Structure 1
């Protein structure tokens, strides 16, 4: 049996659901991918980019409290986050969802029939 994503420090059920939507189904998979690749997958699957979410993931994978990131380390993580955010584009099937989210319309992927 594999441990769920939510067994990693700082990561709860909402993050676990976002990971599942990005095709990441276990804590081991998440650790193997690493924070940068995993976060990139989350963004491509339609998760909205948020710096705090990224550094909470990084801290959790290091076994550290979410608010342990400060100073130069936080600045360096911000640069990594900005690079990931700039390069990650939602998959075509998630593009419409992202665009609807941007204007305040919330829908789930299964609510749309994409042909």
Structure 2
């Protein structure tokens, strides 16, 4: 994501990455909803469907914690950089991780044979 915004000034780069972070949050939310729907249509015993729903909920919570921790670490690597550097690092990290998670959920959902 960072390379998509690196032609801008620091303030504009921050704004560009903020838009990417927001759009990937929407992408992730949609992927989560599609995965819930795919699990609901999954051609499997109800007991496994119930477990999968619960595990998805746990995984979503764990991912949000991981993303916060990982992006906090990535931000710390900006050190004593001035200006918007810390926020730029954080937003790029959030956008990248949201995109990766959404792609994984979409792939998992597509692998479930429907009834």
Please state which band the TM-score falls in when normalised by the shorter chain: under 0.3
TM-score under structure 2 length normalisation: 0.28
TM-score under structure 1 length normalisation: 0.28
Structure with the bigger percentage of helix: 2
Query: Which has the greater radius of gyration?
Result: 2
Q: Which has the higher contact order (CA 8 A, sep 6+)?
A: 2
